Amino acid sequence: MKNIVLFSFLLTGFLGISQQKTTGDVPLSPNNGITANFTLDNATSKVTLVLKGPSDRWFGLGIGVSAGFSMSAGDAVVYSAVTTPKLTDRNFTGTMQPPLDSSQDWTIVSDAVAGSIRTLTLTRALTNSDTNDYQMPYATTNSISFAGPRPATATTTVAPHGGTANVGYATASFTTVLGVNETEAASKKVVLYPNPAKETVSIKNMDKVKAIDIYESAGRKVRSVKPEGENINVRDLKPGIYYFEITLKDGNLSYEKLIKE
């Protein structure tokens, strides 16, 4: 029974890891003063888009396209400081002004201006039932292409952007990152090293450990250890896989796998 409990705990811990992946800030080229940053979160099932553009005019982003803003079909968000709402969820239907989606799925989290740059933080579900929206399932969205238009001169009236010189393009890959909470948790995590080990193992954050029980992979306990210093002698363990059940001083349990050479 012990080996089943150990396996279940380890599997649950692995599946419970919350991750994000992000493109980072990506400037559109040729440079038209717009940058986009997509971050996908598998815990909240949401995408956060940080969109930066000129503060004195409307600008937008076509999502899932690699060339041109006026495509035959596609997803778009457009911002204008004087419209209601200021942010509109739209779709491409040709060379005309992109019409509004029937469903407005993006939400403005923040809208800030510094100098000549407006920074918008937007959020939306990774996937939804709106066929006009670009779907971003966490597991399979590894890159994204987008195009951003803005007018040639200062204006808040959403209209044609005035030529290809005022459109930028980019394709970006996502990089997996740990969120703030995961980074903090990692700094407190109890870790065995070196692993594999031959004679001794050390434990990172040993000051948080109250007791250690060592189990074979089949679930039989082979030793109990009372922490003294940072090192544990494993010289007498036969080569194989072992699990350390680590009781922390705060009452929680941590499980670590050790490969004994």
Residues 6+ apart with CB under 8 A from 195: 201, 257, 258, 259
> What is the CB-side half-sphere exposure of residue 112 using CA atoms within 13 A?
6
- Residues of each domain in the chain carrying CATH 2.60.40.3080: 2-15+184-260
Per-residue pLDDT tens, the chain, 261 aa: give them.
455 445 444 444 444 445 889 999 999 988 888 999 999 998 889 999 999 999 999 999 989 876 554 444 568 899 998 888 999 888 766 566 777 877 888 999 999 999 999 999 999 999 988 888 889 999 999 999 998 889 989 998 887 787 778 888 899 999 987 655 554 455 557 788 888 989 988 888 888 888 899 998 878 889 998 877 778 889 999 999 998 888 888 888 888 888 998
**In 10 A of CB 122, how many CB atoms?**
21
pTM: 0.63
- Residues of each domain in the chain carrying CATH 2.60.40.1210: 20-177
Which overall architecture, per CATH, does domain 20-177 show? Sandwich (2.60)
Residues 6+ apart with CB under 8 A from 4: 219
Class of domain 2-15+184-260: mainly beta
CA distance 47 to 249: 38
Task: Using CB atoms within 10 Å of the CB of residue 235, give its burial: 0 to 12 exposed, 13 to 18 middle, 19+ buried.
Answer: exposed
Report whether 59 contacts 120 (CB < 8 A).
no
Identify the pLDDT of residue 67.
57
Give the number of residues written for the chain.
261
Report whether 28 contacts 35 (CB < 8 A).
yes
Element (DSSP H or E) covering residue 192: strand 191-193
Identify the pLDDT of residue 91.
77
